Structure 1
Amino acid sequence: MQQSARSVAGFWILAAMLLVSVASSAVPSPIYPVYAAEWHLTPLMLTGVFAIYVAGLLASLLIAGRLSDHVGRKPVLVAGGLGVALSLGLFAIADGVGALIVDRIVQGVSVGLLIGALGAALIDNSLERHPTLAGVLNGVIPPIALATGAMSSGALVQWGPAPEQLVYLVFGALLVLLVLALFVVPEQVQRRPGRSVLCARRSACRGARVDSSAGSSVPSSPAGPSAACSSRSSPRPSVRCSASRTTSRPAHSSPSSRASVH
Protein backbone atom coordinates (compact mmCIF):
# COMPACT_ATOMS: atom_id res chain seq x y z
CA MET A 1 0.00 0.00 0.00
CA GLN A 2 1.40 3.38 -1.02
CA GLN A 3 2.08 5.92 1.71
CA SER A 4 -0.55 8.66 1.88
CA ALA A 5 0.24 12.22 0.87
CA ARG A 6 -0.83 13.34 4.35
CA SER A 7 1.78 11.14 5.98
CA VAL A 8 4.50 12.42 3.63
CA ALA A 9 3.53 16.05 4.30
CA GLY A 10 3.42 15.32 8.03
CA PHE A 11 6.95 13.93 7.90
CA TRP A 12 8.33 17.18 6.49
CA ILE A 13 6.26 19.29 8.87
CA LEU A 14 7.79 17.37 11.78
CA ALA A 15 11.29 17.85 10.35
CA ALA A 16 10.69 21.61 10.00
CA MET A 17 9.36 21.75 13.56
CA LEU A 18 12.49 20.01 14.85
CA LEU A 19 14.66 22.53 13.00
CA VAL A 20 12.81 25.61 14.28
CA SER A 21 12.44 24.39 17.87
CA VAL A 22 16.12 23.54 18.29
CA ALA A 23 17.15 26.75 16.50
CA SER A 24 15.00 28.77 18.89
CA SER A 25 17.02 27.46 21.82
CA ALA A 26 20.12 29.19 20.39
CA VAL A 27 18.35 32.48 19.64
CA PRO A 28 19.05 34.18 23.02
CA SER A 29 22.81 33.48 22.97
CA PRO A 30 23.91 36.39 20.72
CA ILE A 31 21.78 38.80 22.78
CA TYR A 32 23.33 37.94 26.14
CA PRO A 33 26.11 40.55 25.76
CA VAL A 34 23.40 43.18 25.23
CA TYR A 35 21.62 42.00 28.39
CA ALA A 36 24.88 41.97 30.33
CA ALA A 37 25.63 45.57 29.36
CA GLU A 38 22.12 46.83 30.09
CA TRP A 39 21.50 44.96 33.34
CA HIS A 40 25.09 44.75 34.60
CA LEU A 41 25.10 40.95 34.65
CA THR A 42 28.18 39.12 35.91
CA PRO A 43 29.67 36.08 34.14
CA LEU A 44 28.35 33.92 36.98
CA MET A 45 24.80 35.12 36.33
CA LEU A 46 25.08 34.35 32.61
CA THR A 47 26.46 30.90 33.42
CA GLY A 48 23.47 30.26 35.68
CA VAL A 49 21.08 31.29 32.87
CA PHE A 50 22.78 28.78 30.56
CA ALA A 51 22.80 25.99 33.17
CA ILE A 52 19.13 26.32 34.14
CA TYR A 53 18.13 25.73 30.51
CA VAL A 54 20.07 22.47 30.42
CA ALA A 55 18.45 21.31 33.66
CA GLY A 56 14.94 21.88 32.29
CA LEU A 57 15.86 20.26 28.98
CA LEU A 58 17.23 17.07 30.55
CA ALA A 59 14.31 16.75 32.98
CA SER A 60 11.72 16.88 30.21
CA LEU A 61 13.72 14.62 27.89
CA LEU A 62 13.43 11.85 30.48
CA ILE A 63 9.63 11.79 30.27
CA ALA A 64 8.79 13.15 26.80
CA GLY A 65 9.14 9.91 24.85
CA ARG A 66 7.29 7.76 27.39
CA LEU A 67 4.58 10.41 27.79
CA SER A 68 3.98 10.54 24.03
CA ASP A 69 3.68 6.74 24.01
CA HIS A 70 0.68 6.99 26.35
CA VAL A 71 -1.15 10.17 25.32
CA GLY A 72 -0.07 10.30 21.67
CA ARG A 73 2.56 12.32 19.82
CA LYS A 74 0.44 15.29 18.82
CA PRO A 75 -0.72 16.40 22.31
CA VAL A 76 2.91 16.47 23.48
CA LEU A 77 4.00 18.30 20.32
CA VAL A 78 1.26 20.91 20.72
CA ALA A 79 2.15 21.48 24.38
CA GLY A 80 5.87 21.71 23.62
CA GLY A 81 5.43 23.99 20.62
CA LEU A 82 3.17 26.41 22.47
CA GLY A 83 5.53 26.31 25.45
CA VAL A 84 8.50 27.33 23.29
CA ALA A 85 6.45 30.10 21.66
CA LEU A 86 5.46 31.32 25.13
CA SER A 87 9.08 31.37 26.29
CA LEU A 88 10.08 33.42 23.24
CA GLY A 89 7.31 35.88 24.00
CA LEU A 90 8.57 36.16 27.57
CA PHE A 91 12.08 36.83 26.28
CA ALA A 92 10.74 39.73 24.22
CA ILE A 93 9.46 41.46 27.38
CA ALA A 94 12.22 40.36 29.80
CA ASP A 95 13.46 43.12 32.08
CA GLY A 96 16.06 41.45 34.31
CA VAL A 97 18.01 38.35 35.22
CA GLY A 98 15.04 36.85 37.08
CA ALA A 99 12.93 37.01 33.94
CA LEU A 100 15.75 35.39 31.95
CA ILE A 101 15.93 32.48 34.37
CA VAL A 102 12.18 31.87 34.21
CA ASP A 103 12.24 32.14 30.40
CA ARG A 104 15.06 29.64 30.09
CA ILE A 105 13.33 27.14 32.38
CA VAL A 106 10.15 27.31 30.28
CA GLN A 107 12.19 27.08 27.09
CA GLY A 108 14.28 24.14 28.28
CA VAL A 109 11.27 22.09 29.42
CA SER A 110 9.34 22.85 26.22
CA VAL A 111 12.23 22.11 23.86
CA GLY A 112 12.84 18.83 25.70
CA LEU A 113 9.20 17.82 25.19
CA LEU A 114 9.46 18.66 21.50
CA ILE A 115 12.75 16.86 20.85
CA GLY A 116 11.66 13.70 22.66
CA ALA A 117 8.31 13.49 20.87
CA LEU A 118 9.54 14.71 17.48
CA GLY A 119 12.20 12.02 17.24
CA ALA A 120 9.57 9.31 17.74
CA ALA A 121 7.02 11.03 15.48
CA LEU A 122 9.52 11.27 12.62
CA ILE A 123 10.11 7.52 12.82
CA ASP A 124 6.35 6.86 13.03
CA ASN A 125 5.82 8.81 9.79
CA SER A 126 9.05 7.79 8.05
CA LEU A 127 9.00 7.78 4.26
CA GLU A 128 8.44 4.35 2.75
CA ARG A 129 10.79 5.11 -0.14
CA HIS A 130 13.53 6.31 2.24
CA PRO A 131 12.97 4.51 5.55
CA THR A 132 16.36 5.50 6.98
CA LEU A 133 15.87 9.23 6.37
CA ALA A 134 14.06 9.74 9.68
CA GLY A 135 17.05 8.51 11.66
CA VAL A 136 19.43 10.62 9.59
CA LEU A 137 17.39 13.78 10.14
CA ASN A 138 17.15 13.08 13.87
CA GLY A 139 20.93 13.17 14.02
CA VAL A 140 21.68 15.90 11.48
CA ILE A 141 19.04 18.54 12.15
CA PRO A 142 19.91 19.51 15.78
CA PRO A 143 23.51 20.73 15.14
CA ILE A 144 22.44 22.49 11.94
CA ALA A 145 19.53 24.08 13.81
CA LEU A 146 21.79 25.39 16.58
CA ALA A 147 24.04 27.09 14.05
CA THR A 148 21.05 28.43 12.11
CA GLY A 149 19.45 29.88 15.23
CA ALA A 150 22.61 31.60 16.43
CA MET A 151 23.47 33.03 13.00
CA SER A 152 19.97 34.29 12.23
CA SER A 153 19.68 35.80 15.70
CA GLY A 154 23.02 37.56 15.33
CA ALA A 155 22.02 38.92 11.91
CA LEU A 156 18.69 40.26 13.14
CA VAL A 157 20.30 41.79 16.23
CA GLN A 158 22.98 43.46 14.12
CA TRP A 159 20.90 44.77 11.22
CA GLY A 160 17.24 44.41 12.12
CA PRO A 161 15.01 46.79 14.07
CA ALA A 162 14.22 46.15 17.74
CA PRO A 163 17.19 43.79 18.31
CA GLU A 164 15.87 42.56 21.66
CA GLN A 165 12.38 41.68 20.39
CA LEU A 166 12.30 40.99 16.65
CA VAL A 167 14.15 37.67 16.61
CA TYR A 168 11.92 36.24 19.34
CA LEU A 169 8.76 37.33 17.55
CA VAL A 170 9.94 35.79 14.26
CA PHE A 171 10.74 32.38 15.75
CA GLY A 172 7.65 32.44 17.96
CA ALA A 173 5.42 33.08 14.93
CA LEU A 174 7.09 30.23 13.03
CA LEU A 175 6.43 27.82 15.90
CA VAL A 176 2.78 28.83 16.18
CA LEU A 177 2.34 28.21 12.44
CA LEU A 178 3.97 24.79 12.75
CA VAL A 179 1.74 23.90 15.70
CA LEU A 180 -1.28 24.72 13.53
CA ALA A 181 0.23 22.61 10.72
CA LEU A 182 0.22 19.58 13.05
CA PHE A 183 -3.41 19.17 12.06
CA VAL A 184 -2.09 17.61 8.84
CA VAL A 185 0.15 15.11 10.64
CA PRO A 186 -1.60 11.75 11.22
CA GLU A 187 -1.49 10.37 14.75
CA GLN A 188 0.20 6.98 14.71
CA VAL A 189 -0.06 6.17 18.43
CA GLN A 190 -3.19 5.02 20.20
CA ARG A 191 -3.76 6.25 23.74
CA ARG A 192 -3.24 3.63 26.42
CA PRO A 193 -3.26 3.67 30.22
CA GLY A 194 -0.06 4.62 31.91
CA ARG A 195 1.62 3.86 35.19
CA SER A 196 -1.05 5.63 37.24
CA VAL A 197 -3.70 3.15 36.07
CA LEU A 198 -1.52 0.18 36.94
CA CYS A 199 -0.73 1.66 40.34
CA ALA A 200 -4.44 2.10 41.02
CA ARG A 201 -5.01 -1.56 40.16
CA ARG A 202 -2.20 -2.62 42.49
CA SER A 203 -3.78 -0.59 45.30
CA ALA A 204 -7.17 -2.20 44.67
CA CYS A 205 -5.61 -5.65 44.72
CA ARG A 206 -3.76 -4.95 47.96
CA GLY A 207 -7.02 -3.78 49.49
CA ALA A 208 -8.69 -6.97 48.33
CA ARG A 209 -5.97 -9.07 49.98
CA VAL A 210 -6.38 -7.17 53.24
CA ASP A 211 -10.16 -7.61 53.16
CA SER A 212 -9.93 -11.31 52.43
CA SER A 213 -7.34 -11.91 55.17
CA ALA A 214 -9.66 -10.16 57.63
CA GLY A 215 -12.50 -12.44 56.60
CA SER A 216 -14.54 -9.74 54.83
CA SER A 217 -16.00 -9.93 51.36
CA VAL A 218 -15.60 -7.59 48.39
CA PRO A 219 -19.03 -6.37 47.35
CA SER A 220 -17.99 -5.11 43.94
CA SER A 221 -17.08 -8.58 42.72
CA PRO A 222 -19.42 -11.52 43.44
CA ALA A 223 -16.64 -13.97 42.58
CA GLY A 224 -14.44 -12.66 45.38
CA PRO A 225 -11.18 -10.71 45.57
CA SER A 226 -9.35 -12.93 43.12
CA ALA A 227 -11.83 -12.17 40.36
CA ALA A 228 -11.74 -8.47 41.14
CA CYS A 229 -7.96 -8.42 40.86
CA SER A 230 -7.76 -10.56 37.75
CA SER A 231 -10.00 -8.36 35.57
CA ARG A 232 -8.19 -6.67 32.68
CA SER A 233 -9.14 -3.59 30.68
CA SER A 234 -5.99 -2.94 28.60
CA PRO A 235 -3.44 -4.92 26.58
CA ARG A 236 -0.56 -3.79 28.80
CA PRO A 237 1.17 -6.30 31.08
CA SER A 238 -1.19 -7.44 33.79
CA VAL A 239 -0.83 -6.74 37.48
CA ARG A 240 -0.50 -10.06 39.21
CA CYS A 241 -2.25 -10.39 42.50
CA SER A 242 -4.33 -12.95 44.30
CA ALA A 243 -6.41 -13.13 47.42
CA SER A 244 -4.98 -14.63 50.54
CA ARG A 245 -5.55 -18.33 50.77
CA THR A 246 -7.97 -19.07 53.56
CA THR A 247 -8.32 -22.82 53.03
CA SER A 248 -6.49 -25.10 55.41
CA ARG A 249 -4.92 -28.51 54.91
CA PRO A 250 -7.21 -31.51 55.39
CA ALA A 251 -7.01 -33.01 58.83
CA HIS A 252 -6.22 -36.50 57.48
CA SER A 253 -3.58 -36.40 54.80
CA SER A 254 -1.81 -39.28 53.19
CA PRO A 255 1.80 -40.14 54.11
CA SER A 256 3.04 -39.04 50.72
CA SER A 257 1.43 -35.61 51.13
CA ARG A 258 2.92 -35.27 54.62
CA ALA A 259 6.33 -36.14 53.23
CA SER A 260 6.01 -33.58 50.45
CA VAL A 261 5.06 -30.91 52.98
CA HIS A 262 7.97 -31.65 55.23
Structure 2
Amino acid sequence: MQPFLNTRAAFWTAGAVVALALWTSACPTMTYPLYQADWHVSTTTVTWIFAAYPVALIPVLIVFSDLSDHIGRRSAMLLGLLAELAGVLLFAFADGVPWLLAGRAFMGLGVGLSLSPASVAMVEFSAPGKEGRAGSVGTAVSSSGIALAMLVGGALTQYAPFPLHLNFFVLAAVIAVVVCFVAGMPHHTANETSTWWRMRAIIIPRGNRGFSPPARSRSRRPSSSAPSCCRSVRRSPTSWRVRPTPWSPARCCRCSRRSSRSAPCWPGA
Protein backbone atom coordinates (compact mmCIF):
# COMPACT_ATOMS: atom_id res chain seq x y z
CA MET A 1 0.00 0.00 0.00
CA GLN A 2 1.27 3.45 -0.88
CA PRO A 3 1.80 5.77 2.09
CA PHE A 4 -0.92 8.37 2.45
CA LEU A 5 -0.09 9.88 5.87
CA ASN A 6 2.00 12.98 6.34
CA THR A 7 4.63 13.32 9.05
CA ARG A 8 2.27 14.73 11.67
CA ALA A 9 -0.33 12.01 11.12
CA ALA A 10 2.39 9.35 11.19
CA PHE A 11 3.57 10.70 14.55
CA TRP A 12 0.15 10.33 16.15
CA THR A 13 -0.41 6.97 14.50
CA ALA A 14 2.78 5.71 16.13
CA GLY A 15 1.46 7.10 19.41
CA ALA A 16 -1.74 5.14 18.91
CA VAL A 17 0.33 1.97 18.48
CA VAL A 18 2.04 2.67 21.82
CA ALA A 19 -1.33 3.17 23.51
CA LEU A 20 -2.69 -0.03 21.97
CA ALA A 21 0.31 -1.99 23.21
CA LEU A 22 -0.43 -0.96 26.80
CA TRP A 23 -4.17 -1.45 26.32
CA THR A 24 -3.59 -4.95 24.99
CA SER A 25 -1.26 -5.87 27.83
CA ALA A 26 -3.83 -4.88 30.48
CA CYS A 27 -7.09 -5.81 28.77
CA PRO A 28 -7.62 -9.26 30.38
CA THR A 29 -7.21 -7.89 33.91
CA MET A 30 -10.93 -7.31 34.43
CA THR A 31 -11.95 -10.76 33.24
CA TYR A 32 -9.67 -12.91 35.42
CA PRO A 33 -12.17 -12.96 38.34
CA LEU A 34 -14.93 -13.96 35.92
CA TYR A 35 -12.89 -16.90 34.65
CA GLN A 36 -12.45 -18.04 38.23
CA ALA A 37 -16.16 -17.70 38.95
CA ASP A 38 -17.66 -19.06 35.71
CA TRP A 39 -15.03 -21.58 34.62
CA HIS A 40 -13.90 -22.54 38.13
CA VAL A 41 -10.32 -21.69 37.24
CA SER A 42 -7.91 -21.91 40.16
CA THR A 43 -5.64 -19.08 41.26
CA THR A 44 -2.62 -21.08 40.13
CA THR A 45 -4.04 -21.40 36.63
CA VAL A 46 -4.74 -17.67 36.49
CA THR A 47 -1.13 -17.07 37.50
CA TRP A 48 0.06 -19.26 34.62
CA ILE A 49 -2.14 -17.31 32.21
CA PHE A 50 -0.71 -14.06 33.51
CA ALA A 51 2.86 -15.40 33.29
CA ALA A 52 2.47 -16.41 29.63
CA TYR A 53 2.65 -12.72 28.71
CA PRO A 54 6.16 -11.89 30.06
CA VAL A 55 7.44 -15.32 28.98
CA ALA A 56 6.69 -14.33 25.39
CA LEU A 57 7.50 -10.62 25.75
CA ILE A 58 11.01 -10.73 27.22
CA PRO A 59 12.64 -13.00 24.58
CA VAL A 60 11.11 -10.90 21.80
CA LEU A 61 12.54 -7.71 23.29
CA ILE A 62 15.98 -9.31 23.58
CA VAL A 63 16.17 -11.11 20.23
CA PHE A 64 14.15 -8.82 17.93
CA SER A 65 15.08 -5.45 19.42
CA ASP A 66 16.70 -4.24 16.18
CA LEU A 67 14.26 -5.85 13.75
CA SER A 68 12.66 -2.55 12.78
CA ASP A 69 16.06 -1.16 11.78
CA HIS A 70 16.15 -3.68 8.92
CA ILE A 71 12.54 -4.25 7.83
CA GLY A 72 11.26 -0.75 8.62
CA ARG A 73 9.18 0.75 11.43
CA ARG A 74 5.95 0.26 9.53
CA SER A 75 6.53 -3.44 8.88
CA ALA A 76 7.58 -4.12 12.46
CA MET A 77 4.53 -2.32 13.84
CA LEU A 78 2.25 -4.20 11.47
CA LEU A 79 3.67 -7.53 12.59
CA GLY A 80 3.17 -6.56 16.21
CA LEU A 81 -0.37 -5.34 15.67
CA LEU A 82 -1.33 -8.52 13.82
CA ALA A 83 0.05 -10.60 16.70
CA GLU A 84 -1.88 -8.46 19.17
CA LEU A 85 -5.02 -8.90 17.08
CA ALA A 86 -4.56 -12.69 17.06
CA GLY A 87 -4.15 -12.73 20.84
CA VAL A 88 -7.21 -10.55 21.44
CA LEU A 89 -9.35 -12.70 19.13
CA LEU A 90 -8.21 -15.84 20.95
CA PHE A 91 -9.51 -14.29 24.16
CA ALA A 92 -12.72 -13.19 22.43
CA PHE A 93 -13.53 -16.72 21.22
CA ALA A 94 -11.97 -18.57 24.15
CA ASP A 95 -13.84 -21.48 25.71
CA GLY A 96 -11.00 -22.94 27.74
CA VAL A 97 -7.70 -22.29 29.44
CA PRO A 98 -5.50 -23.31 26.44
CA TRP A 99 -7.09 -20.52 24.39
CA LEU A 100 -6.21 -18.02 27.11
CA LEU A 101 -2.62 -19.22 27.37
CA ALA A 102 -2.14 -18.96 23.61
CA GLY A 103 -3.84 -15.57 23.48
CA ARG A 104 -1.68 -14.19 26.26
CA ALA A 105 1.46 -15.42 24.51
CA PHE A 106 0.41 -13.74 21.26
CA MET A 107 -0.24 -10.52 23.19
CA GLY A 108 3.30 -10.61 24.57
CA LEU A 109 4.68 -11.29 21.10
CA GLY A 110 2.72 -8.40 19.59
CA VAL A 111 3.63 -5.89 22.29
CA GLY A 112 7.31 -6.82 22.01
CA LEU A 113 7.30 -6.34 18.25
CA SER A 114 5.31 -3.09 18.11
CA LEU A 115 6.13 -1.06 21.22
CA SER A 116 9.79 -0.27 20.56
CA PRO A 117 9.39 0.55 16.83
CA ALA A 118 6.43 2.78 17.63
CA SER A 119 8.40 4.67 20.28
CA VAL A 120 11.29 5.20 17.85
CA ALA A 121 8.90 6.21 15.09
CA MET A 122 7.47 8.95 17.30
CA VAL A 123 10.95 10.46 17.54
CA GLU A 124 11.65 10.10 13.82
CA PHE A 125 8.32 11.63 12.77
CA SER A 126 8.58 14.55 15.19
CA ALA A 127 8.78 18.05 13.82
CA PRO A 128 12.34 19.33 13.32
CA GLY A 129 13.72 20.61 16.59
CA LYS A 130 10.92 19.04 18.64
CA GLU A 131 12.24 15.50 18.99
CA GLY A 132 12.30 15.84 22.77
CA ARG A 133 8.51 16.15 22.79
CA ALA A 134 8.19 12.51 21.71
CA GLY A 135 9.23 11.29 25.16
CA SER A 136 6.56 13.23 27.04
CA VAL A 137 3.88 12.39 24.47
CA GLY A 138 4.91 8.73 24.61
CA THR A 139 4.50 8.70 28.38
CA ALA A 140 1.08 10.33 28.07
CA VAL A 141 -0.21 7.88 25.46
CA SER A 142 1.14 4.94 27.48
CA SER A 143 -0.85 6.10 30.47
CA SER A 144 -3.86 6.60 28.21
CA GLY A 145 -3.59 3.01 27.00
CA ILE A 146 -3.65 1.64 30.53
CA ALA A 147 -6.51 3.98 31.44
CA LEU A 148 -8.53 2.79 28.44
CA ALA A 149 -7.95 -0.82 29.46
CA MET A 150 -9.27 -0.11 32.94
CA LEU A 151 -12.16 2.21 32.06
CA VAL A 152 -13.44 0.69 28.82
CA GLY A 153 -12.71 -2.88 29.88
CA GLY A 154 -14.24 -2.34 33.31
CA ALA A 155 -17.39 -0.71 31.92
CA LEU A 156 -17.94 -3.40 29.30
CA THR A 157 -17.26 -6.20 31.76
CA GLN A 158 -19.52 -4.75 34.44
CA TYR A 159 -22.47 -3.34 32.50
CA ALA A 160 -22.48 -4.70 28.94
CA PRO A 161 -23.67 -8.12 27.82
CA PHE A 162 -21.22 -10.95 27.14
CA PRO A 163 -18.71 -9.77 29.76
CA LEU A 164 -16.19 -12.49 28.83
CA HIS A 165 -16.10 -11.56 25.15
CA LEU A 166 -17.34 -8.06 24.28
CA ASN A 167 -14.34 -6.28 25.77
CA PHE A 168 -12.00 -8.15 23.43
CA PHE A 169 -14.18 -7.67 20.35
CA VAL A 170 -14.10 -3.89 20.91
CA LEU A 171 -10.33 -3.92 21.29
CA ALA A 172 -9.95 -6.07 18.19
CA ALA A 173 -11.97 -3.54 16.17
CA VAL A 174 -9.75 -0.68 17.40
CA ILE A 175 -6.61 -2.63 16.48
CA ALA A 176 -7.99 -3.30 13.00
CA VAL A 177 -8.58 0.42 12.46
CA VAL A 178 -5.06 1.32 13.62
CA VAL A 179 -3.62 -1.35 11.30
CA CYS A 180 -5.15 0.49 8.35
CA PHE A 181 -3.52 3.75 9.43
CA VAL A 182 -0.13 2.11 10.07
CA ALA A 183 -0.26 0.64 6.56
CA GLY A 184 -0.39 4.22 5.25
CA MET A 185 2.75 5.35 7.06
CA PRO A 186 6.04 5.90 5.20
CA HIS A 187 7.88 2.62 4.82
CA HIS A 188 11.43 3.77 5.50
CA THR A 189 12.96 6.47 7.60
CA ALA A 190 16.45 7.94 7.67
CA ASN A 191 17.69 5.82 10.59
CA GLU A 192 16.84 2.45 9.02
CA THR A 193 19.43 0.22 7.36
CA SER A 194 19.25 -1.64 4.08
CA THR A 195 20.92 -4.84 5.31
CA TRP A 196 19.10 -8.07 6.08
CA TRP A 197 18.27 -8.83 9.68
CA ARG A 198 20.04 -11.72 11.36
CA MET A 199 20.07 -13.00 14.89
CA ARG A 200 23.00 -11.75 16.91
CA ALA A 201 24.54 -13.09 20.08
CA ILE A 202 23.98 -11.16 23.29
CA ILE A 203 27.23 -9.36 24.13
CA ILE A 204 28.02 -7.98 27.56
CA PRO A 205 30.43 -5.01 27.47
CA ARG A 206 33.92 -5.92 28.61
CA GLY A 207 33.86 -3.45 31.45
CA ASN A 208 30.72 -5.05 32.94
CA ARG A 209 31.86 -8.66 32.87
CA GLY A 210 33.70 -8.70 36.15
CA PHE A 211 32.11 -9.29 39.53
CA SER A 212 31.93 -6.29 41.79
CA PRO A 213 31.36 -7.02 45.48
CA PRO A 214 28.81 -4.85 47.24
CA ALA A 215 30.22 -1.68 48.64
CA ARG A 216 30.62 -1.51 52.39
CA SER A 217 29.66 1.56 54.29
CA ARG A 218 32.51 2.85 56.36
CA SER A 219 31.84 5.07 59.32
CA ARG A 220 34.18 7.84 60.14
CA ARG A 221 36.53 6.86 62.92
CA PRO A 222 36.66 9.15 65.90
CA SER A 223 39.75 11.11 66.57
CA SER A 224 42.23 9.42 68.87
CA SER A 225 42.81 12.67 70.71
CA ALA A 226 39.60 12.28 72.67
CA PRO A 227 39.12 9.58 75.31
CA SER A 228 36.47 6.95 74.74
CA CYS A 229 34.12 8.26 77.38
CA CYS A 230 34.08 11.67 75.73
CA ARG A 231 33.01 10.38 72.31
CA SER A 232 29.36 10.80 71.39
CA VAL A 233 27.25 9.40 68.60
CA ARG A 234 25.67 12.08 66.49
CA ARG A 235 23.22 11.58 63.67
CA SER A 236 24.28 12.71 60.21
CA PRO A 237 21.86 13.11 57.26
CA THR A 238 22.91 9.74 55.80
CA SER A 239 23.93 7.48 58.66
CA TRP A 240 24.98 7.27 62.28
CA ARG A 241 28.57 8.29 62.71
CA VAL A 242 30.81 8.44 65.71
CA ARG A 243 32.22 11.87 66.26
CA PRO A 244 34.35 13.12 69.14
CA THR A 245 33.03 15.78 71.48
CA PRO A 246 35.15 18.76 72.28
CA TRP A 247 37.51 17.66 75.03
CA SER A 248 40.15 19.10 77.21
CA PRO A 249 41.92 17.68 80.28
CA ALA A 250 40.24 20.19 82.55
CA ARG A 251 36.71 19.13 81.53
CA CYS A 252 36.93 15.39 82.16
CA CYS A 253 37.50 13.74 85.49
CA ARG A 254 37.10 10.08 84.53
CA CYS A 255 39.71 9.85 81.84
CA SER A 256 42.33 12.36 82.88
CA ARG A 257 44.30 12.44 86.08
CA ARG A 258 45.23 16.03 85.43
CA SER A 259 41.66 17.19 86.08
CA SER A 260 40.68 18.29 89.53
CA ARG A 261 36.99 18.67 88.80
CA SER A 262 34.46 16.11 89.86
CA ALA A 263 31.86 16.95 87.24
CA PRO A 264 30.71 13.97 85.20
CA CYS A 265 31.58 13.62 81.54
CA TRP A 266 27.92 13.23 80.44
CA PRO A 267 25.10 15.50 81.55
CA GLY A 268 22.92 13.79 84.10
CA ALA A 269 25.42 10.98 84.77
TM over 0.5: yes
Confirm whether residue 193 of structure 1 aligns to residue 232 of structure 2. Answer: no
1:1-262 map, 5 Å: 6-128=6-128, 130-186=130-186, 187-188=188-189, 189-195=192-198
Letter in 2 for 1:182: V
How many Å apart are 1:12 and its aligned residue?
0.7
How many Å apart are 1:162 and its aligned residue?
1.6
Deviations 1:14-44 (A, max 9, x none): 1112112311221111011111112211111
- Structure 2 distance, partners of 1:73, 1:5, is 14
More helix by share: 1
Q: Could you list the runs of 5+ residues in structure 2 that have no partner in the other structure?
A: 201-269
How many Å apart are 1:115 and its aligned residue?
0.7
Deviations 1:141-170 (A, max 9, x none): 323322321221010111112211211111
Deviations 1:174-230 (A, max 9, x none): 111111111332231343233479xxxxxxxxxxxxxxxxxxxxxxxxxxxxxxxxx
How many Å apart are 1:137 and its aligned residue?
2.5
Distance 1:12 1:46, change over 3 A: same
Q: Could you list the runs of 5+ residues in structure 1 that have no partner in the other structure?
A: 198-262
- Structure 2 distance, partners of 1:98, 1:16, is 30
- Structure 2 distance, partners of 1:11, 1:166, is 30
Deviations 1:84-121 (A, max 9, x none): 11111110111111211111011111111111211111
Identity of aligned residues (%): 29
Letter in 2 for 1:63: V
Q: Which 4+ runs in 1 deviate beyond 6 A?
A: none
CA contact (8 A) 2:53 2:104 kept: yes
Letter in 2 for 1:33: P
Alignment TM-score, normalising by the size of structure 1: 0.69
CA contact (8 A) 2:124 2:131 kept: no
SS of the residue 1:65 aligns to? coil
- Structure 2 distance, partners of 1:160, 1:173, is 17
How many Å apart are 1:139 and its aligned residue?
3.0
SS of the residue 1:94 aligns to? coil
SS of the residue 1:74 aligns to? helix
- Structure 2 distance, partners of 1:45, 1:90, is 17
Q: Identify the residue that residue 233 of structure 2 maps to in structure 1.
A: none
Distance 1:119 1:65, change over 3 A: farther
- Structure 2 distance, partners of 1:62, 1:150, is 28
Letter in 2 for 1:13: T
Distance 1:164 1:15, change over 3 A: same
Distance 1:68 1:5, change over 3 A: closer
Distance 1:130 1:196, change over 3 A: closer
Alignment TM-score, normalising by the size of structure 2: 0.67
SS of the residue 1:182 aligns to? helix
- Structure 1 distance, partners of 2:43, 2:29, is 13
SS of the residue 2:66 aligns to? helix
